[in-house]
């Protein structure tokens, strides 16, 4: 089954609360939208920059890659244990990309996994970030955390396998 951007935006619009887009509900909407049709459960990642937490939810569905990107002010959190202020999420982008538009999926570098308040960064390995390059020259970044690395790496591996033929 194919998905277009309208279907994704409709699913997201259905979970808006007071003009905001709660990240957890976006994730749950995509799980529902892709239920039984996705090669992987959607993966959620978060990074913090300039006082904002940027989050992305990705799902590989049939012949398409669904990508939703948003941000909110506040502390980093994990899906399922987000603070009350995570409801202040703002949607930045929702895309559905056909896999034949993907030209490369590659490691872009490494970043430290969040320490969740502990001063023990050595407990976490440095792990790669991925980027998906599209035929039109744009890229979809996939930042990593220790909790999402395996699933995002699996999505990347499936994309690479499809690109290889």
Would you kindly state where each structural domain of the chain is located, as residue ranges?
Answer: 5-164
Q: What is the pLDDT of residue 106?
A: 72
| C-alpha closest to that of 163 among 15, 92, 63 | 63
Q: What is the pLDDT of residue 43?
A: 61
Listing from the earlier edge strand, what are the strands of the sheet with 139-142? 102-112, 126-134, 139-142
Is the pLDDT at 122 greater than 50, yes or no? no
pLDDT (tens digit per residue) in 27-46:
777 777 766 555 455 566 66
Give the rounded percent of residues in the chain with a pLDDT score beyond 90.
1
Q: What is the pLDDT of residue 116?
A: 39
Q: What is the pLDDT of residue 115?
A: 40
Model pTM above 0.85? no
Q: What is the pLDDT of residue 120?
A: 38
The dihedrals phi and psi of 26, each to the nearest 5 degrees, come to -65, -45
* Distance of alpha carbon 47 from alpha carbon 148, whole angstroms: 12
81 pLDDT band, cuts 50/70/90, is low
| C-alpha closest to that of 66 among 14, 135, 119, 140 | 140
């Amino acid at each position: 089954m194919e998905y277009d951007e309208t279907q994704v935006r409709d699913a997201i619009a259905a979970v808006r609360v007071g003009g905001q887009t709660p990240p957890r509900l976006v994730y749950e909407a995509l799980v529902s939208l892709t239920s039984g049709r996705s090669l992987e459960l959607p993966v959620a990642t978060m990074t913090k920059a300039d006082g904002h937490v940027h989050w992305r939810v990705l799902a590989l569905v049939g012949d398409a890659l669904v990508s939703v990107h948003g941000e909110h002010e506040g502390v980093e959190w994990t899906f399922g244990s987000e603070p009350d202020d995570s409801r202040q999420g703002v949607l930045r982008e929702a895309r559905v990309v056909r896999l034949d538009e993907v030209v490369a999926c590659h490691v872009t570098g490494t970043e430290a996994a969040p320490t969740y308040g502990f001063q023990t960064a050595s407990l976490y390995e440095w792990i790669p970030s991925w980027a998906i390059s599209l035929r039109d020259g744009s890229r979809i970044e996939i930042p990593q955390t220790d909790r999402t690395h395996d699933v995002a790496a699996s999505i990347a591996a499936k994309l690479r396998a499809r690109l290889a033929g």
